[in-house]
Chains A and B, each alone.
Chain A
Amino acid sequence: MWSRVVEIMLGCWLAVSPFVFRHAADETQFWINDFSCATAVMTLAMLSCWKPTRHAHVGIVLVGIWMIVFAYQNFPEPAPPALQNSALIGFLLIMFGVIPNDATFPPVGWQEYDRNCEESNE
């Protein structure tokens, strides 16, 4: 679950990003994007800890892709710190988002397969 914990921390960082990077009051899309991505990431990471929605972390990959697309869409040269932040956090979210929940153990499918094999041998 370490990956989900890191995602929640990245979500917290996104939530304070508008203040760290001092978005101007009229840059509404930057404010909305950072806050909505932060909410989405933290919600999806927490949902992943609940069994019926354990695959919710795949959504975090999509949020990550969106943040990179958002940074490229609003692409003045050179990119301002706020957009660089968006792109970097996007890359991080993609990397952490693909990590399965109980990554240290074999996948559930293989665990069940081996259990069935052992039962049929007995």
Chain B
Amino acid sequence: MDSQTISQHDLNAAPAPWSYNPSAWSQRIPICLLAAVATVIATYLALYQWRLISSAWDPFFGTQTEAVLDSNVSDWMHRYFLVPDAAFGAIAYLGDAIFGLAGSTRRWQYRPWLVIVFGIDVIPLGIVSAVLVALQATVVGSWCTLCIVTAVISLILAYMAYDEVLTCLIYLRRVWKKTRSRKVLWDTFCGQPSPVAALIGEEMCGKA
């Protein structure tokens, strides 16, 4: 694969409104690492829900973690998703890491679909995690330290990811405003090049 034709300078250019490149590795690797930590924690909780381990560790709330993991809410989600909710969470965090790793450092322009899929995984996940913690307090009446840790991680992930998703949306919006063509917008979303998309990318990087 010939990657030399697009210069490194262009790949690392900072798009407006940022002074940095939100698709840079320095922005994405921390997201992947944090998501990997959350994957491990969620997998541990899933092991308890599968009863592959007989107890779940909690530094502050004792057996309340187990009460949360065995609650009616959890049970209902287990039936609905087929797998325990913690296992489902682990898959979602792993997805954050996978979609964070894929793509070049200019993927906000070259692969918008990937950034949007990443955003759909990260941002609603943060909200769902926060809602589940709120349910712990209100419906279940017990607390689970590791669940709170993963919920905090997902909110941090949502915060860390939003700049890239926003850049991508601004780019797509500008393509739409310039062309008013559904086909061009769709092609751009799928990562097909066009003179308009190239021009807007250059404009956003302050080069046109």
Contact = CB atoms under 8 A, between A and B. Distances in A.
A91 B3 CA distance: 31
Interface residues of B, number: 31
B191 A87 contact: no
Interface string B105-136: 01000110000010000000000000000000
A87 B82 contact: yes
Interface in A67-110: 71-72, 75, 77-79, 81, 83-84, 87-88, 91-92, 95-96, 98-100, 102-110
B104 A75 contact: no
A95 B82 contact: no
Nearest to B87: A88
B106 A106 contact: yes
Interface residues of A, number: 36
Contacts of B193: 109-110, 112-113
Counting chain A CB atoms within 10 Å of each CB, the highest count among B10, B11, B98 belongs to B98
Contacts of B79: 77-78
A102 B191 CA distance: 14
Interface of B: 1-3, 5-6, 10-11, 50, 78-79, 81-83, 87, 91, 94-95, 98-99, 101-104, 106, 110-111, 117, 191-193, 198
Interface of A: 2-3, 71-72, 75, 77-79, 81, 83-84, 87-88, 91-92, 95-96, 98-100, 102-115, 117-118
